Chain A
Amino acid sequence: EVQLVESGGGLIEPGESLRLSCAASGFPFNKAWMSWVRQAPGKGLEWVGRIISSNDGGRIDYGAPVKGRFTISRDDSKNTLYLQMNSLTTEDTAVYFCIWELPSPGNFEYWGQGTLVTVSS
C-alpha cells in the first residue's frame, strides 16, 4: 500500500525556518517524481515545486512565490522527501502536501495527509 506521511509542521514566527519531511513507503521511491503542493486555509491549491528521480536527472523546479527561499531534496536511502523552508512569511501559512506524481509527470494520484504550517508572531 502506498503511504506518504508528512511531518514537521507547526507554529513558527515570521523570518524563521522549518523543514518538512515526507516518509514514503509502498512504492519504488528512488524512481518517483515527487511534488509539494500547499493550500492556505480556506483557499485553493498551489504547486510549490518538484524533484524528479536521480535516474531521470534529479531536476528540481519551484513555483515563483517560493523560489530562492524553499529547497526540495530527497534521500532515496531513507525513502524520504524534504522541504526546507527559509525566510517564512505569513503568506506561507498552509497545509503542505507531499505527492507522488502518477500516472504520468504532473499528475497527482497519491497524496499525503498534509501537515499544517502556521507562520505567525
Chain B
Amino acid sequence: DIQMTQSPSSLSASVGDRVTITCRASQSISNYLSWYHQKAGKAPKLLIYAASTLQSGVPSRFSGSGSGTEFTLTISSLQPEDFATYYCQQNYSTPYTFGQGTKLEI
C-alpha cells in the first residue's frame, strides 16, 4: 500500500497568514493527489485534485503543487473559515490512502 505522510501534524496561524502543508508519498504517484479539509462534525470537502486543479467553487487562495512523491497545499491568506483539518489522499492506486491530517488552528 502507498503510505502518505503529512507535515506538520498541527499548525497555529493567524488570519491573513500564508501557510503551506506538505504531503509525501512512499512511492511515485504522478499527480494523483487530492486535498480535502474537514470541519468538526462535517464531511470532508474536496479542495484540489490532480495535485493542482482547483475544485469548482473553491476560493483561489487555495493552491496545490507537486508531482511524484512531494506535494504541497498553500493557502495564500488565511480566512476564519479555513481553520480546519486538512488531508491529502492518493488516488493513483487502490487501496486509496490518506495522510494522517494537519490540524490548522488559530
Contact = CB atoms under 8 A, between A and B. Distances in A.
Tell me, yes or no, whether A binds B: yes
Interface of A: 35, 44-47, 50, 61-64, 97, 103-109, 111-114
B90 to A, nearest CB: 8
Contact of B91 (A63, A107, A113): A107
Interface string B82-94: 0000010101101
Contacts of A64: 1, 95
Nearest to A98: B43
Contact of B43 (A35, A44, A61, A113): A113
B62 interface: no
Contact of B46 (A97, A108, A114): A108
A63 B101 CA distance: 19
Contacts of B95: 47, 61-64
Given A64-B1, A113-B43, A45 B89 contact: yes
A44 B101 contact: yes
Contacts of B50: 104
Contacts of B92: 106
Most interface-central of B38, B94, B98 (chain A CB within 10 A):
B94
Most interface-central of B87, B92, B98, B100 (chain A CB within 10 A):
B98
